[in-house]
Structure formats: structure tokens, C-alpha cells
Structure 1
């Protein structure tokens, strides 16, 4: 998607990608899913922050060539998102794996193994393809999925989130398609409800305190 008012990140702009990955990685240190994943690492907040940034950098490296990264002109907010029809037979997970070399270069073998095992344990609360079935049940052939959303901690309350997400909503409304996302916190669930989303799925595992909420915004 090429959307007015927001920047589709050029995969060749490595400095921008690194800067945005740092911003989102820092923001996601407050995100419950990330905290659970990183809980298997030694209790070193600086290192966990670096790992969080690297995970986002790897993801952006994989998905940017498929136009999966969007930001504002001032880089104050970032969305990793896709339009289903533009992916074709490729999955988002396959795109992300194209950036695996970034993780392998920056993390130790012990860290990679620990994180991989933790992600496997968390599969029941890491359901990121439920929207395909949900869209089909609703009678939609296409949709937008926000995989990750983040606003720079210094820009919160400035309207950056609204400025970033509105062009997606305009596109969705013009093409009569829903938008999907997942969240784990009451605060973010309330924020997304405020901009038109509703929770239609929950995913739980008694082994973890977090609850994944699948949300949809219907076209207006």
C-alpha cells in the first residue's frame, strides 16, 4: 500500500530502519508479550532492551522489501502492517524470517535458543494468523493486519498515533475491508476501542498471565 500522508519505508534506507527499530524496540519494553519472551534472558535491562530492538530490526529487515513498514515524516510512529491481497501466497511469518540473519549476528547462540524455546511455549498466546479465518467468517476476501504499532515515548499524546493510523482506515473504508490487530494490555485495548476496534477473540494459556485480544475495526 502507498498511503497519503505516511511514508512507506524504503528497504535501502538502513539508517531510518535502524532508528525506527530502536524506537519500537524501546516502546515494546512496556509490551506484555515482549516482556514474557525476554523473561528467559538474564535480568539485565540494558541487554533486554538491545534484544528487543534487534528483534524489531530483524522483522523490519524482512518485511520492508514487501512494503510492510510505515512511518510518519517525523518518524514519531511506526506500523508494521500488510494488506492480505498484496502478500499473495507469501505469509508475514515467511517475510520476517528473511531478516533472521540480523538476529543471528547480534544475539548469542544461548540467547537465540532461549528465545526460540520461550516462543514455542507461548504459542497459545501468540496467535497471529487468526484474522484469516475471522475475515472469511465475516465475508471479506481482503483485510489490513496491523502486526505492530508503536509511538515514540517522547511523542505520546501528540496525535502521532491518529495521524499514522487514519490513512489505513481511509483505505479500508474506501475498499470496504476490515482492519485487524492484537494487543495484550487493558490500556491499549481501550485505546484501540476508542478508534473503532472491538475485541472478537481472546487467547489464553494458564501457564502465562497474559491474554491475547484479537480486535477488528469494520469498514465505515
Structure 2
């Protein structure tokens, strides 16, 4: 199981923190993180429920991570393994995660797929999201998977949708001409764009688009002989 002790910083001050697998007794805190991290207009029905979280810890506990500061859970990240075919990459978040229940988790797949990442707003200056992402990269390496992949929201797109396509918007963010709260963060974490997917998520700010972003495992070794 995963456990990592480290220091995170806010205003140059270090705070001891722990990244570990979340468990049943953490569920109420994880749901609270969802409510604080994804306020309206994000659909509240997409927040975690106890049944989904129970599947996460039972089906793939290695992909269920949370972060503690002073014994309080302040961030979480969830994933599952899928067999991803880049030549057939069109999908929605609901399809590839079984609507967050991850019953389609495939231990023999090639890709760690990010279901969700959330950080309580009061802790967003501590760099917690980047530490969680780094920890998921370590899971990818440990399980010898080809990549980490996930669809990022593009909430900043709503401001320019009248003049740019979603693909043009993503290109402008990658070039540094625009900043997006999610995509710019993923770029800082080492993720690179794969493609824009329409009807990825019911998300008014993103006009329902998602940007597939990956991190390739530099240590991956094929088991095919």
C-alpha cells in the first residue's frame, strides 16, 4: 500500500503532510472535499457518494489516494486501470469510469486513468495537487503501465468560446497565450495534450469538452516477447 511522508509549503513555511491510500473511515471527508472543490455550476450529482468510494477502495485501492495535513484530509485523487487504444480515443468520463463506480477497472490494462482530483480551496496554495499527481506517476511506474491519462476540464473556455474552437483554445493555452485553471495546472505537472474530446463531461464552463492529457512512463518495459 502507498504511504509517503513529506513537507509542503505555504508562504515559505513547511508543513508536514502524508499521502496515503484512503479507506472507509475517510469517506465523509472525501465527500466534503468534493463539495468544496466543485461548487455550482458543476453538477452536484457528480460528487462522490459512499457506494462509489467503496468500489474505489475495494476494486483498486492502489489508485485511491488522499493527502493529510495535521491529521485532516485536505485533498484526494482517484484512478483506475483501463486498456486504452489511442486509435479509438473518443470517450466520455462516464463511459471510461463507469460513472465513477470503476466497475470496469481492468488489472491487465495498459493505462492508469485519472477519475478525479480535488483539493480543498483553503489548501490550494500548498502545491498539493502536484504532489498527488507525482504520486500517481509513481503508481504508474510501480505497476509498469504505459501512461497516466485523464480528461481535463477546460473551464476557462467559456470566456472565449464565441471566438475560438475548443482545439484552438487548448493550443493557445499550450502556447502560453492563455491560462486555464485546469489545463495550465496539468501542464505544470508534466502532462501533455493528446486531443480534445466533445461531450466528455456535463460541464457548463467547459461547454462539455474535455482535453485528454497524458504522462508517458519513461521506465515502461513491454512484457511481450
TM-score per shorter chain, which class?
Answer: 0.5 to 0.7
Aligned partners of 1:80, 1:153: CA distance in 2, in Å?
18
Equivalence for 2:208: 210
* Stretches of structure 1 lacking an aligned partner (at least 5 in a row): 39-47, 86-90, 99-128, 133-139
Q: Residue 126 of structure 2: SS of its match in structure 1?
A: coil
**TM-score normalised according to structure 2 size:** 0.57
Which of the residues 126, 130, 140 maps onto 1:158? Answer: 126
Structure in which a larger fraction of residues adopt strand:
2
2:22 is equivalent to residue 9 of structure 1: yes
State how many pairs are aligned: 154
TM superposition shift of 1:149: 0.4
CA pair 203-57 structure 1, distance change in 2 beyond 3 A: same
With a CA cutoff of 8 Å and minimum separation of 6, indicate the structure with the bigger relative contact order. 1
TM-aligned CA deviation for residue 10 of structure 1: 2.0
Map 1:183-198 to 2 at 5 A.
183-185=152-154, 186-198=180-192
CA distance in 2, matches of 1:181, 1:92: 10
Equivalent positions of 1:91-106 (< 5 A) are: 92-93=97-98, 96=101
Q: Residues 91-144 of structure 1, C-alpha deviation per residue, up to 9 Å, x if partnerless?
A: 84287188xxxxxxxxxxxxxxxxxxxxxxxxxxxxxx9xx9xxxxxxx95221
**Residue from 137, 149, 164 that aligns with 1:169:** 137
Contact 1:29 1:52 in 2 (8 A): no
Aligned to 2:149: 180
Give 3-state SS (helix, strand or coil) of 2:38's partner. helix
SS at match of 1:78: strand
Q: CA RMSD in A?
A: 3.2
CA contact (8 A) 1:7 1:72 kept: yes
Distance across 2 between alignment mates of 1:92 and 1:192: 20
After TM superposition, where is structure 1 displaced by more than 3 Å over at least 4 residues in a row?
A: 55-58
Indicate how the Cα distance of structure 1 residues 167 and 97 shifts in structure 2: closer, same or farther if over 3 A, else same. Answer: closer
Instruction: Report the Cα offset of residue 58 of structure 1.
Output: 4.0
Residue of 24, 27, 30 corresponding to 2:37: 27
Distance 1:72-1:216 versus aligned 2 partners, 3 A rule: same
Gaps (5+ residues) in structure 2?
Answer: 5-18, 84-95, 155-179, 219-225
How far, CA to CA, are the matches of 2:132 and 2:102 in structure 1?
Answer: 26
Trace 1:49-60 onto structure 2 (pairs within 5 A). 51=45, 53=47, 55-60=48-53
CA distance in 2, matches of 1:172, 1:216: 12
